[in-house]
Structure 1
Amino acid sequence: MRRLENAFVTLNGIVLVLGLMVMSVILGWNVLGRYLTGNSLTWADEVARYSMIWLTFLGSGLALREGAHAAITNAQDAMPGPLQHALRVLILLALLGFFAFMVWVGIDYMNRMAVQRSAALRVPMKWVYAAMPAGFALMIVHLALMAPRYLRAGLQHSEETALG
């Protein structure tokens, strides 16, 4: 299971790096063309904007895994073991519920935008808005994979505090 999780995290990171590389090349080419020839690609800004949206949502699961989202751990760390464990379970359930709700909202919003098209690329905006449910679905997977360690870390932390 651990090997599968590492492959999933690695694949998620590779997709982000490749997406950022493509976005950088397109923007660099556009800037270079603008200053050397006075012309720019009409679609480059749109690609960059939509790439950034997708990269943000696809990277949010890795940010969750690294603890990069806002969190307040002082109250949790000050609690005794069983209460801290219960709070961690509550936090996991609240996050899971929120992420699932956002997948549902994202799919609904994506479907509402199905008829609209982007200005330069004429891409259905549905695919731009699909970043939201895709990103939150990835966050659910990351949360499920890291939940056992998150719960064990709380128990280990409380045992160390009791011993120390």
Structure 2
Amino acid sequence: MLHAKPAPFGLLGKIDGAIGRAEVWILGWGIILMAGNTIANVFGRYVFNQSIYFSEELNEFLIVTVTFMGLGYATRKGIHIRMSAIYDALPVKLRKGLMVVIAATTAAMMALLAWYALEYVQKVASRGRITPALQLPLYLTYVWVVLGLALTALQYLLTALRNLNFAEEEIYVSYLEVDSYEDPETAAAIKRHEDADGEEKP
């Protein structure tokens, strides 16, 4: 189980907090708008026999936004999928060092993808293409890809920096989340068993 520790004070803590608040706001409103748009479209189709003409296009835009902003959010919370069989078998110091390498490498890859995505957005913007229904510039849809990849790169960079302190025993899978595999249900069952044993003793 992952558990969070208070972020250290300073610039990095402020950056992480600001990013987290922005991600939660964008993801929350994106999902709310997607749900509201879908419900309204179904209601219009079956009650008034008239669909909302831009509903599908708006949902596509929101899906892109939620997907790529969610990528950064998942990284920040340390809930991304990890293959850790070899990693788990290593001593703590080696795991911490390996986490620095993994996070730094992933940050570089995400930054490179963000750069390529930015180049693509610039090409789309230069062609002046617009969406069919909403008549909005098409590049606005892909801006969220660039932003999501860039924020993910930043989160992995913060993870690498947080793990550079080898005086700490904790290994961080994100800037806030500590790597831990303690199952809360198992821990609660063990505690109940220990309490029961204590009560049985004279």
CA–CA distance in structure 1, aligned partners of residues 74 and 36 of structure 2: 24
State percent identity of aligned pairs.
26
TM-score (norm 2): 0.69
2:27 pairs with 1:16: yes
Task: Output one character per residue of 1:28-48: Cα deviation in whole Å (capped at 9) or x when no partner.
Answer: 111111110100111011001
CA distance in 1, matches of 2:163, 2:48: 54
* 1:6 to 1:19, Cα distance in 2 relative to 1, 3 A: same
Partner of 1:102: 113
Q: How big is the shift at 1:148?
A: 4.0
Which structure shows the bigger proportion of residues in helix conformation? 1
Tell me if 1:130 matches 2:143. yes
Matches within 5 A, 1:1-164: 1=10, 2=13, 4-114=15-125, 115=127, 116-150=129-163, 156=169
Equivalents in 2 of 1:87, 1:63: separation in Å?
20
State the one-letter code of the partner of 2:152.
Answer: M
- 1:85: Cα distance to partner? 3.0
| Greater length-normalized contact order (CA 8 Å, ≥ 6 residues apart) | 2
Aligned-residue Cα RMSD (Å) equals: 2.3
Q: Distance in 2 between matches of 1:150 and 1:63?
A: 18
SS in 2 for 1:156: coil
Computing the radius of gyration from Cα coordinates, the structure with the larger value is 2
Name the TM-score, length of structure 1 as normaliser.
Answer: 0.83
- Measured after TM superposition, the shift of residue 146 of structure 1 is 3.5
Tell me the distance in 2 between the aligned counterparts of 1:112 and 1:11: 27
Is contact 2:103–2:159 with CA below 8 Å preserved after alignment?
no
* Cα distance per residue 1:44-91 (max 9 Å; x no partner): 110011111111111111111223322112211211244323322210
Alpha-carbon distance between aligned partners in 1 of 2:114 and 2:15, rounded to the nearest angstrom:
23
Aligned residues of 2:99 and 2:160 also touching (Cα < 8 A)? no
1:152: how far off? 5.5
